Amino acid sequence: MIIGTHTGVKVSDAKGLVRKELIDRGEALVYYEPGGTVVSRSGDNCVVSYCNQWYLNYADENWKKRVLNHVQNNFKTNS
């Protein structure tokens, strides 16, 4: 990491620390997905979904421009 409270820490080591901080501040939540097929007690296959979620539309050119502009103006990068 080259910026923030974990400067100098390897990303692989900082990942868990950042995750915990975000959850502790209420800015993130733990999300789990089943690792395989979910079957009910009656033997029926189940569809498991977390419905209160949102997705980023990575194809949206306006969104990409806004994000790129934000990163270029608010983060120290090596590019």
Residue 64 pLDDT: 92
pTM comes to 0.45
* Alpha carbon 65 to its chain's center: 20
Quote the DSSP letter at residue 45: E
Domain membership flag for residue 11: yes
Contact 14, 1 (CB under 8 A): yes
Domain membership flag for residue 54: no
Domain membership flag for residue 38: no
* Alpha carbon 30 to its chain's center: 10
pLDDT exceeds 90 at position 13: yes
Count of domains forming the chain: 1
Domain membership flag for residue 4: yes
pLDDT single digits (tens) 32-68? 777 888 899 999 998 877 676 677 888 899 999 999 9
Contact 77, 3 (CB under 8 A): no
Question: Residue-wise over 47-65: b if at least 16 C-beta within 10 A, else e?
Answer: eeeeeeeeeeeeeeeeeee
